[in-house]
Structure 1
Amino acid sequence: MATPPDNPIVYSCSGCSSAAQLANHVALQLDRRGVAEMSCIAGVGGDVPHLLKTARSGRPIIALDGCPLVCVKSTLARHGIAPDRHYQLQQYGVKKRAHEDFDPVQAARVLEQVEADQRTQPLARPALQPQATEPSHG
């Protein structure tokens, strides 16, 4: 499914822990369902010009951090970008566990919460307002 160009951009943690992979899974599902367009936070951190342009495009940003290290939020902040909506998954009961897979039931609950937030308080690029023109004094 193609994502509408005014939908939010979603960035997620995608480290090796169960919490990181849960965040990544949720972001992928938001992308696949057309709720948001996933972009690459590693590319933002790596100063990749095309990915920085996307991050600075003015589209709303959803940030999904798997743990209290808040790598996604910090990576964006390094470039002067603040997410419009930030989820720190520990606040939703997600535990960070090494060498374990994430709980799919917990992932479904987090996904439902993010989708519900987007339904009830949608993030979308503000419509461009026509600029007022001053009358010419000819």
Structure 2
Amino acid sequence: MGDCACNSGTKLIYSCSGVADVGEIADRTVRLLRKEGFAQGSCIAAVGAGLPGYVQSAKGADVNITVDGCPVACSRRILENIGITPVSYIVTEMGFKKGSTPVTTEVIEAVCANIREGKMDKPKEKTFVLSGGGCGCGGNC
């Protein structure tokens, strides 16, 4: 991402790409929405790494959208750490269970439909207990 998206009417979308099934669903959902032209994709890892062009683009976008697999909400938190409150979608809050949701076209389409319709854009506050994997989600990472 060489050019800044500042002040250009930009809607950026970011995905958790976590190792769990719901992380893969989040990633594939964002790729499909980007391909459809719903929003421009950007790299949440680059924002988290503090790469200036990505941070500047996020801060300059009209809308930043995150799609996270689980309530740990890594993508959302990365943007919050740089002062941005994104529109946040969490796959598990749409009724899909971490560790037992098949990554299928039907599931990805259902998540896409929720996002297109603006459903589930207000994450619930959660308390996390560290799991054996250390991610803090309490799930089956």
**TM-score with structure 1 setting the length:** 0.74
Of 23, 46, 65, the match for 1:62: 65
Kindly provide the CA deviation profile for residues 94-120 of structure 1, in whole angstroms up to 9, marking residues without a partner as x. 22228x8623311111111212239xx
Structure 1 unaligned regions, length at least 5: 119-138
Take 1:76 and 1:11, find their aligned partners in 2: how far apart are those partners?
10
- The structure showing larger relative contact order (alpha-carbon pairs under 8 Å, at least 6 residues apart) is 1
Number of matched residues?
Answer: 112
Q: SS of the counterpart of 2:38?
A: coil
Alpha-carbon distance, 1:86 to partner: 0.9
Take 1:96 and 1:103, find their aligned partners in 2: how far apart are those partners?
14
Identical counterparts, % of pairs: 29
Give the aligned partner of residue 98 of structure 2. Answer: 96
Indicate the structure (1 or 2) with the bigger Cα radius of gyration.
1
Q: SS of the counterpart of 2:117?
A: helix
Give the aligned partner of residue 12 of structure 2. Answer: 9
Question: Is the contact between residue 65 and residue 73 of structure 1 (CA under 8 Å) also seen in structure 2?
Answer: yes
**TM-score with structure 2 setting the length:** 0.72
4+ residue runs of structure 1 moved beyond 4 angstroms?
Answer: none
Give the aligned partner of residue 76 of structure 2. Answer: 73
Give the aligned partner of residue 130 of structure 1. Answer: none
